[in-house]
Amino acid sequence: MDEDKRIILKDINVRYRGADDFQLKHVNATVTAGKIIGIIGNSHSGKSTLCRVLGGVIPNIISAEIDGTCNLLGYSPKDDWQAFNASTGVVLQNPAGQLSGLADTVADELAFDLVNQGLPASFINKRVANVAAQMGLTAQLGQSPESLSGGQMQRLAIGTAIVTQPKILIMDDPTSEMDPVGRKQFFGWLDTVQDTTVFIVSSEIDDLCEVADSIWILKDGELIVHGSPEKVFNHLSAQWRIPEPTAYQLAQRMNWRLDDNRYPVTSAELKEAFDAQN
Amino acid sequence: MKSEPINRTSMWKFKLSAATMTLIPAAVGINYVAKALAEGLKLPVWLGSLGTFLASMLAGPVAGAVSGFINNVIYGLTLSPISTVYAITSIGIGIAVGILHAKGWFSSIRKVFISAIIIAIVSAVISTPLNVIFWGGQTGIAWGDSLFALMVANHAPVWLASFTDEFVLDILDKVCVAYLAFFIYRQLPQRMVRFFRDDK
Amino acid sequence: MTDQNMLTGETVGKSKWYNAIDPVTKLLFILDMALLSFASTNLVIEGGLIAMALVLLLFSKVSSTTFKALGFSLFLIFTMLVIQGLFYSQNQTVLFSIIGIHFYKEGLLYATILGSRVLVIILASGFFMVTTTISENAKYLEQSGLSYKTVYVLMSVCYILPEIMANMRKIQQAQRVRGTNPQKTFIQKLRSVLPVLIPLVIKTLDQSMTRSISLQLRGFDNPKRKALKGNNHYRLASVGHYGLTIIAVILIGWKLWTKINGLF
């Protein structure tokens, strides 16, 4: 397959300057464009560092020792930084910090990336309205970003990342400040996203299993396992201290298995397993 | 800390990096908050240059000078117009702190005290002419001005009286701010210090 | 600075006459007024300048910020009148006496002139302060040709300050819950600010780091950037700029000329 249709991480090692330990060790993975990757792991497992590598923040903005190859759709972060950056949308862990700090309204904040590209106002307005509708922020367009709640601010941060319609979306714990309804809406929205490769760090295992094509588990900077949610959770080691999805736990307790003898991880599979049993 | 001979950068960086660009507004904000805290606790000091100190220590004299300048301009245009002219003093403070820090004069409790005295002198020397031009030599702080009145009443030159008035206030303020900045700077995570110091 | 109105402004309502004047013209106006008051030592002219700035302010909007700035200065001007009236080095003529204390004409005159200048500056700035919003300044400055970076460095603090203040209140609340001893001495009080300032500074700087990363990812320094137009329509902006700049140059030149002549 073409290199420009894939995201390739080859033996990535990352160490911050002055740190003793590596934050990422020998990370290898290849992803086909258009997939949704759910990244999980306990704290300090290297999730945020991985997001920084995928977004090109390391080595372009934060200097760190990095070796190995990172290639996004044919672009290298060092050699093709403009094109690399143009093809990604990044949602950082801290939503308030992601905002520009010089926007009067939510609309201005959403428009920022497009204004930077010198696009015409009519185009910008249309795109901003569209993104606001997707993120449920239409009523807040005229408000100051400062006045938003934590969850709304997080949706605004996601909005600023998708407003340029990036080919690759990288989100570091984007629902941490959302209420259950907001989170449900977010994952519902994520399920509808098309033609975009998504890397999402989250601790919402159930929701991740519903939307993700693949789950990556990081432990102490190593990518210890990756594969479909069903495969990953059916081969989970207790030592990793990763919680299982609710569907899996329930099915295991009831001994409801799928055709291939595995336990289900999503609600649809759970129903399938239940129906097969009865 | 290991020395990094390859990445040694000069303390004089005139092109503001993206890191410095977001550091400066934060420094001005810290100035404002520190001043508000001091007023809230009714401390006899201003503390309004804490952010300028930290900006200078993190990113060098130019960043500190710009923080100080913008601090007074914004303060002047939103709250207290006359403070705009003291932007010159704040520039001086920013430069002095940046140089002293780069030369290692913020490395120990004892050295910080000497730095604070030098900074107070710089501040008072720049402020005195402004005080004379705008306020006939006064500072607007009661006990400093009492000293001023006492000296003028005893036929001391206005310049000397005004300098004394300003200096006694400055020395207390700058010693407090220098120690606060010293203790806070030591608590900052290394990744942060590196980020703002980096030439990128 | 914390006033939310200053951010959002009243652009929603009807446009007032002063909205047609651009921020730079208003700033140049402050400069000219200050230079005029410094060029003169005539009380009548000073009075005229004060009246002019006051009328302008009264016809635009009266705000509590101006009163606060005035309140502090009026007190200082009063102490200045007392100190200079009593001790000014050129005091000769007794103007009046209160319980045997002589107030001299020269000192009072000197303090009055200085005080008038301060009032001129405060009132003229007051006009700028009450008629311009922060967002208007930011937009106008970028449209006038300043880079986004420069405007950001200048103005961003006005946008992020509410957030810093909110973080401070959160930290203070947490400290209070943990229970702190009442502080009495100066050193105790000074020490008590550290537990608030350390987390606040770290939080604020952390936010700056994220913001710096985000701004770079979002392409703030793209040379193609075209600033959005503001809502205000300014009239005669260039006439105002040139006219007021010429006045400022003449005033400075004249002042320098008289100073140089005075030397010989």
Give mean pLDDT in consecutive 10-residue pieces for chain A, a chain of 278 residues: 81 91 95 96 94 94 92 93 94 90 93 95 96 96 92 96 96 95 96 95 96 96 95 92 94 92 93 87
Is residue B8 in a domain? Answer: no
| CB-based contact C206 A62, cutoff 8 Å | no
Determine the pLDDT at residue C19. Answer: 84
Q: Are strands A222-227 and A214-219 parallel, antiparallel or unpaired?
A: antiparallel
B199 to A61, B12, B60, C219: CA distances (angstroms): 10, 11, 11, 19
CA torsion C58→C61→C64→C67, rounded to 10°? -20
Pairwise CB contact (< 8 Å): B134 & C216:
no
Closest partner residue to A116 among C4, C163, C219, by Cβ?
C219
Contact between B33 and C164 (Cβ < 8 Å): yes
pLDDT band at C183 (very low <50, low <70, confident <90, very high): low
- Shared domain for A249 and A200, answered yes or no, is no
Q: Is residue C226 part of a domain?
A: no
Query: Which pLDDT score, from 0 to 100, does residue B153 have?
Result: 92
Lowest mean pLDDT among A145-149, A159-163, B107-111, B125-129: A145-149
CATH number, residue B138: 1.10.1760.20
| pLDDT at C5 exceeding the cut of 50 | no
Residue B125 lies in a domain: yes
User: Are residues C126 and C8 part of one domain?
Assistant: yes
**Cβ-Cβ contacts under 8 Å for A232 (sequence gap 6 or more):** A215, A217, A225, A226
Q: Looking at per-residue confidence, does C2 or B180 come out higher?
A: B180
> Do A185 and A61 belong together in one domain?
yes
pLDDT one-digit tens code per residue, C203-245: 999 999 999 999 999 999 899 998 877 667 888 888 889 999 9
For chain B, list the strands marked E by DSSP: none
Which bin fits B175, alpha (ψ -120 to 50), beta or left (φ > 0)?
Answer: alpha
B85's torsion region: left (phi>0), alpha (psi -120 to 50) or beta?
alpha
Is residue C225 one of the residues assigned to a domain? no
Cβ of B180 within 8 Å of Cβ of C194? The answer is yes
- What percent of chain B is predicted at pLDDT more than 70? 94
Instruction: Classify burial at C229, counting beta carbons within 10 Å of its beta carbon; exposed 0-12, middle 13-18, buried 19 or more.
Output: exposed
Given A140, A165, A190, which residue is the final one in a domain? A165
- H or E element, residue A67: strand A64-72
Same domain membership, residue C162 and residue C87: no
d(CA C56, CA C68): 18
> Between the CA of residue C32 and those of A254, B150, C28, C122, what are the distances in Å?
84, 36, 6, 13
Give domain status of residue A11, yes or no: yes
Q: Does B103 touch chain A (CB under 8 A)?
A: no
Confidence (pLDDT) at A96: 85
Residue C161: inside a domain: yes
Question: What's A71's DSSP letter?
Answer: E
Whether residue C119 contacts residue C57, with contact meaning beta carbons closer than 8 Å, is answered with no
Range of the domain at B107: 18-197
Name the residue with tokens 């992020």: C160
**pLDDT band at residue B200 using 50, 70 and 90 as cut-offs:** very low
Question: A206 with A219, same domain?
Answer: yes
**What is the greatest pairwise CA distance in chain C?**
74
Q: Do A101 and B200 touch (CB under 8 A)?
A: no
**DSSP-assigned states of every residue in A84-135:** HHHTEEEE-S-HHHHS-S--SSHHHHHHHHHHHTT--HHHHHHHHHHHHHHT
Interface of C with B in 25-54 (CB under 8 A): 30
The answer to whether the Cβ–Cβ distance between C202 and B188 falls below 8 Å is: yes
Q: Which of residues 69-128 of A touch C (CB under 8 A)?
A: 85, 88, 90, 92-94, 96-104, 108, 111-113, 115-118, 121
Q: Measuring CA to CA, how many Å separate B125 from each of A106, B95, B119, C202?
A: 46, 14, 10, 32
Tokens of A181: 């309804």
Number of Cβ within a 10 Å radius of residue C163? 19
Interface test with B, best of C197, C213, C217 (most B CBs within 10 A): C197
Is position C140 within any domain? no
Reply yes or no on whether the pLDDT at C128 is more than 60.
yes
> Are the beta carbons of A114 and C226 closer than 8 angstroms?
no
Q: What is the DSSP string of C33-94?
A: HHHHHHH---HHHHHHHHHHHHHHHHHH---HHHHHHHHHHHHHHHHHHHHHHHH-TT--SE
**Residue span of the structural domain in which A251 resides:** 244-278
Q: Distance, in angstroms, between B194 CA and closest chain C CA?
A: 11
In a domain, C224, yes or no: no
Query: What whole-number distance in Å separates Cα of residue C51 and Cα of residue C47?
Result: 6
**Within this chain, do residues C190 and C250 fall inside the same structural domain, yes or no?**
no
Q: Which two tokens stand for residue B83?
A: 């403070």
Q: What is the mean pLDDT of residues B140-162?
A: 93
C162 lies in some domain: yes
| B190 touching C (Cβ < 8 Å) | no
Residue of C68, C158, C197 lying closest to B180 (CB–CB): C197
The answer to whether residues A58 and A81 touch, using CB atoms and an 8 Å cutoff, is no
**What's the structural domain count of chain B?**
1
Whether C148 has a pLDDT exceeding 80, the answer reads yes
Does B43 have pLDDT greater than 90?
A: no
- Per-residue DSSP letter, A166: -
**A96 in a structural domain:** no
Query: What residue in A sits closest to C217 (Cα-Cα)?
Result: A85
Both ends of chain C: CA-CA distance in Å?
48
Residues on chain B touching A62 (C-beta within 8 angstroms): 195
Residue A132 sits in the same domain as residue A175: no
Residue B128 covered by a domain? yes
Which sign, positive or negative, has the C-alpha torsion B64, C171, C184, B141?
positive
pLDDT of residue B199: 54
Which SS3 state, helix, strand or coil, does residue A28 take?
Answer: strand
pLDDT in tens, C28-79: 999 999 999 998 889 999 999 999 999 999 888 777 878 888 888 899 999 9
> Is B69:B84 a contact under the CB 8 Å cutoff?
no
Contact A153, A143 (CB under 8 A): no
Q: Closest chain A residue to B26 measured between Cα atoms? A: A101
The confidence score (pLDDT) of residue C47 equals 95
Residues of A in contact with C209 (CB under 8 A): 97
pLDDT at C14 over 70: no
Q: Cα(B56)–Cα(B33) distance, rounded to whole angstroms?
A: 18
Same domain, A125 and A143: yes
B88 inside domain: yes
Which token pair is B134?
A: 């705008």
Average pLDDT over chain B reads 91
* A55 in the same domain as A147: no
Residue type, B113: F
Q: How many domains does chain A have?
A: 3
Locate A262 and state its tokens: 């595995």
**Residue A235, in any domain of the structure:** no
* pLDDT at position A17: 85
- Residue A174 and residue A82 in one domain: yes
Please indicate whether, in this complex, the C-beta atoms of C216 and B18 are within 8 angstroms of each other: yes
One domain, residues C24 and C77? yes
Residue B79, helix vs strand vs coil: coil
H-type alpha helices, chain C: 4-8, 23-39, 43-60, 64-87, 105-131, 134-143, 148-178, 186-217, 237-263
Put simply, whether C201 touches B (Cβ < 8 Å) is yes
Task: Let me know if residue A94 belongs to a domain.
Answer: no
Do C188 and B171 contact (CB within 8 A), yes or no?
no
Q: What is the pLDDT of residue C181?
A: 63
Enclosing domain of residue C11: 4-132+234-263
Number of domains forming the structure of chain C = 2
* Under 8 Å between Cβ of C119 and C66: no
Please check whether residues C168 and C243 belong to one and the same domain: no
Say if the Cβ atoms of A101 and B22 lie within 8 Å.
Answer: yes
A104 CB neighbours in chain C (<8 A) are 7-8, 135
Residues A205, A74 share a domain: yes
- Report how far apart, in Å, the C-alpha atoms of A277 and of each of A9, A258, B136, B176 are: 41, 9, 94, 74
What token pair was written down for C208? Answer: 């700056």
Contact assignment for C228 to A85 by CB distance below 8 Å: no
Which of A165, A187, A204 is the endpoint of a domain?
Answer: A165
What single letter denotes the amino acid at residue C46? E
Touching C: B residues 90-129, CB under 8 Å:
none
| Distance from the Cα of residue C75 to its chain's centroid | 18
Q: What is the pLDDT of residues A201-237, one digit of tens each?
A: 999 999 999 999 999 999 999 999 999 999 999 999 9
C12 & C77 share domain: yes
pLDDT at C10 over 60: no
Interface residue B195 vs chain A (CB under 8 A):
yes
Q: Do C212 and B21 touch (CB under 8 A)?
A: yes
Tokens of C1: 């600075």
Establish if C184 belongs to a structural domain. yes
Q: How would residue C3 be classed by pLDDT, with cut points 50, 70 and 90?
A: very low
Same domain for C123 and C238: yes
Q: Is C193 within 8 Å of B47 when comparing Cβ atoms?
A: yes
How many Å lie between the alpha carbon of B174 and the closest alpha carbon of chain A?
A: 30
Contacts of A126 (CB under 8 A, 6+ apart): none
Q: Is residue B9 part of a domain?
A: no
In a domain, B1, yes or no: no
Q: Given this model, what pLDDT does residue A88 score?
A: 96
- Cβ atoms B181, B57 nearer than 8 A: yes
Query: Which residues, in sequence order, are bridge partners of residue A6?
Result: A32
- Residue B3 covered by a domain: no
Instruction: Please give the average per-residue pLDDT across B93-121, as a whole number.
Output: 97
Interface check for A276 against chain B (CB to CB < 8 A): the answer is no
- At A172, phi and psi to the nearest 5? -100, 105
Backbone angles phi, psi at C96, to 5 degrees: -160, 165
Q: Who wins on pLDDT, C64 or B152?
A: B152
